[in-house]
Structure 1
Amino acid sequence: MFKKIKAAKAYLDHGDEFAAGLVPDDAVVLDAPSDAARPAVDAALDGHFETAAEVLARSRAARAWEDRDSDVHSLARLALRSPDWLESWTESDPENPDLAVVDARRRVELAWEQRSNDDASQVSREQFEAFGRTLEEATERIRQAMAGSPGDPVPWAVALRHCRGTEHDRAVFDECLRELDGADPHHYGARWEAMQFVCAKWFGSHDEMFDFAQASVDAAPREARVQSLLLDAVLEHLAAEPSALRSNPDRVEEAIARAQGWLDANPDAGHHLTARTRNTLARVLFHLERPREAYEQLRAVGPHATAYPWRYWGDAREEFLTHRSHIVTMAASSS
């Protein structure tokens, strides 16, 4: 009883202070585009593709693959809702490799929306048929993106997502992974897609997923974004089995340290690169009942909620806000 009274008093004394350290709920945005891509998104909403073409041409020329992957994803998601600018780009420059990778990603994202994230037993025959048709239509676009940008890992990230959806046999997956390694063995987005293929909910197991993630981070430099992949594996295990984090505490601690080490090594990285890792850290630390550490991640992330990992527990933005509220209460109560 005394502990509960003490916690309540601590919350009354410090709750406003902790809440004030975070942005208001109505300022929170989900999967905001990078600062570089924001003008392209704004122009695209007005039907103009030229700024998007310039942004992606720059990232391809600079071989800035992590930035490119983020911007391709933002523009592809936009094209699902507002396709006019992409259609204009297709009419103007149909062989453009940057157009090809955005369109390939758009088609693959559309397929997964048609399928939904439900368990296979809950997906209708009509949904599966639409899913298969759209993935088939994406195949040629993926090939065009690969051919138009040699050495670019971003089309291989799309290919690995496509591979999971089409349930290709392991030989096809292994070939995609070899090609990815030849382009960039440390590319976060593509290796995340590969990890999904080998996790228990798809075509592998928890052990295979952790082995893949561990090998990926061990092979990568400390400043590489892929250092956060082991944390993603922990999150995947947590989402499948809520008690999972207690089964191997050393691995969980290593995953947290790897992710935090990457963040510390990249203090100037944009929110489009760091927000997802901070969101995932906050969710894992919340589950571990370490609210002060989770709070620090939320404070650092500011308004930048990300669909992953929160979508695993419901509507992503609502889950972010709900967990954020709980974390503030817990952190203030523990002061």
Structure 2
Amino acid sequence: MFKKIKAAKAYLEHGDEFAQGLVPDDAVVLDTPSDAARPAIDAALDGAYEPAAELLRSSRGARAWEDRDVDVASLGRLSLRAPQWLDSWREAAPDDPDLAVVDARRLVEQAWEQRSHDDASQVSAEQFAAFGETLERATERIQQAVDGSPGDPVPWAIALRHARGTEGDRGTFERYLDALGSTDPHHYGARYEAMQYVCAKWFGSHDEMFSFAQASVDAAPREARVQTLLLDAVLEHVASEESALTGNRDRVEEAIARARGYLDANPDAGHHLTAQTRNVLARILFHLERHREAYEQLQAIGPHATSYPWRYWGDAREEFLTHRSHIVTLAAGAS
């Protein structure tokens, strides 16, 4: 009882101070694009495709695969809401390899929106039918993206996500994964999609998922974004079994350390490369009742909430704000 009274007193003394250390709720936006992509997105909303084409041509030339992956995702999602600029791009340069990769991402995003991220038992037959039809339409576009941008891992990340949706066999999965060896074997986006394929809710198990994630981080440089994959595996396990954090605390601590090592090694990386990691960290630290550490991640996140991981528990933005409020209360009460 006295411990609860002390926590309540601490919250009354420090709660406002902690809340003021974060951006207001109405400033929080899901999945904000990279700073480099903002002008391209603004132009696309006005119907112009050229800045987006230049952005992706530049990242392809610089082999900036992690930036390219995030920007392709932003542009693919945008095209579902405002397709006119993409239509203009198709008319002007139908064989552009950067157009192909955005279009492939658009179709796969559309398919998953049609299906929803709900458990399969909650997805209707109509949703499954639309999901399958759209994935079928994406097949040719993905191949065009692969052929048009040799050495680029981003189309292979899309292909791996497509394979999961179409229930591709292990042979197909392994071929796609092997193809990364000639592009970027440590590419986060492709490795994340491969990890999803081998997790328990799809075609593998928790053990296979952790083995894959561990091998991926062990093989990668400390500064590589794929170092965060072990934390993603922990999150995936927690999403299906909340008691998972108590099963192997050494692995959980290693996952946190790997993610923090990546963040420390990339202090100047843009929010588009770090915000998701910080969102996952905040969620895991909340589960571990390490509320001050979770609060520190929220401060670093600022307005940049990410759909993943929060969508696993409901409306992503609402879940982020609800957990943020809880973390503020608990962190202040622990002062």
Q: TM-score range by the shorter chain?
A: over 0.9
1:284, 1:121 → 2: CA distance?
27
| Worse overlay, 256-265 or 133-142 | 133-142
2:291, 2:98 → 1: CA distance?
42
2:231, 2:30 → 1: CA distance?
20
Alignment of 1:219-234 (within 5 A): 219-234=219-234
1:77, 1:131 → 2: CA distance?
16
What secondary structure is seen at the aligned counterpart in 2 of 1:243? helix
Specify the alignment match of 1:56 in structure 2: 56
What are the Cα deviations for residues 259-305 of structure 1, in whole angstroms up to 9, with x where unaligned? 00000000000000000000000000000000000000010111000
Alignment of 1:280-319 (within 5 A): 280-319=280-319
2:286, 2:123 → 1: CA distance?
32
**Structure 1 residue 332 corresponds to structure 2 residue 335:** no
Specify the alignment match of 1:145 in structure 2: 145
What are the Cα deviations for residues 13-60 of structure 1, in whole angstroms up to 9, with x where unaligned? 111111111000000010000000000111111111111001000000
1:123, 1:249 → 2: CA distance?
34
Alignment of 1:1-335 (within 5 A): 1-335=1-335
2:208, 2:101 → 1: CA distance?
29
What are the Cα deviations for residues 101-136 of structure 1, in whole angstroms up to 9, with x where unaligned? 000000011111111122222222222111111111
Alpha-carbon shift at residue 204 of structure 1 (Å):
0.2
Give % identity.
80
1:331, 1:314 → 2: CA distance?
23
Alpha-carbon shift at residue 181 of structure 1 (Å):
2.4
1:228, 1:16 → 2: CA distance?
33
Alpha-carbon shift at residue 182 of structure 1 (Å):
2.1
Consecutive unaligned residues of structure 1, counting only runs of 5 or more, are: none
Count of residues in correspondence between the two structures: 335
Name the aligned partner's letter for residue 236 of structure 1.
E
2:118, 2:133 → 1: CA distance?
19
| Worse overlay, 120-129 or 194-203 | 120-129
1:5, 1:289 → 2: CA distance?
18
What are the Cα deviations for residues 214-271 of structure 1, in whole angstroms up to 9, with x where unaligned? 0000000000000000000000000000000000000000000000000000000000
Name the aligned partner's letter for residue 18 of structure 1.
F
Name the aligned partner's letter for residue 128 of structure 1.
F
1:67, 1:256 → 2: CA distance?
23
Q: Given the two structures, how large is their TM-score scaled by the length of structure 1?
A: 0.99
Name the aligned partner's letter for residue 75 of structure 1.
L
What secondary structure is seen at the aligned counterpart in 2 of 1:7? helix
1:296, 1:93 → 2: CA distance?
46
What are the Cα deviations for residues 141-183 of structure 1, in whole angstroms up to 9, with x where unaligned? 1111111110000000000000000001100000000001221
Name the aligned partner's letter for residue 121 of structure 1.
S
What secondary structure is seen at the aligned counterpart in 2 of 1:6? helix
Name the aligned partner's letter for residue 31 of structure 1.
D
Name the aligned partner's letter for residue 88 of structure 2.
S
Name the aligned partner's letter for residue 133 of structure 2.
R
1:243, 1:111 → 2: CA distance?
32
What are the Cα deviations for residues 188-214 of structure 1, in whole angstroms up to 9, with x where unaligned? 011000000000000000000000000
| Worse overlay, 133-142 or 111-120 | 111-120
Q: Which runs of 4+ in 1 moved over 2 A?
A: none
Alpha-carbon shift at residue 10 of structure 1 (Å):
0.4
Name the aligned partner's letter for residue 146 of structure 1.
V
Alpha-carbon shift at residue 140 of structure 1 (Å):
0.8
Alpha-carbon shift at residue 138 of structure 1 (Å):
0.5
Q: Given the two structures, how large is their TM-score scaled by the length of structure 2?
A: 0.99
Alpha-carbon shift at residue 321 of structure 1 (Å):
0.4
Alpha-carbon shift at residue 311 of structure 1 (Å):
0.2
